[in-house]
Amino acid sequence: MISLLQKIFTWWNRDTFGTRLKTLISGRLVGQDSFGNKYYENKKGERWVIYANEIDASKIPVEWYSWIHHTPNKIQNEHELKKYSWQKPHQPNLTGTKEAYYPNKDKDEPEKKYKSWLN
């Protein structure tokens, strides 16, 4: 019962009841990315994504990002999309997580670029 109420009233857990209903009635599954996100389109040309886990727009890879913003006419297949050896795989935004980058991460205290005169 609680999960049904969560589905109806919360948008941050996953897709809402309205999105699920819209997907069932008019959605056509276009594809799925490496993160497990599913991409849908209806006859009017509206496009949306149902995220596999936590909703985070930075988890959309570049080929699907361009598709969802109507940039290309067709979806680029992963085999058609030329990736170079120096390119890293897509990562979501890591800000606020343990994997986030900041200088002097391994040290306990960050280095200051100034010296305080109130010692």
Per-residue pLDDT reduced to its tens digit, 39-74: 999 999 899 999 887 787 888 888 788 888 888 656
Three-state DSSP class for residue 5: helix
**7 vs 97, more confident:** 97
For 35, other C-beta atoms within 10 Å of its C-beta total 15
Name the DSSP letter for residue 27. Answer: -
pLDDT higher than 90, residue 77: no
Q: Is the pTM of this model over 0.85?
A: no
Name the H helices within the chain: 2-9, 17-26, 62-68
pLDDT higher than 80, residue 25: yes
- Residue-averaged pLDDT of the chain: 77
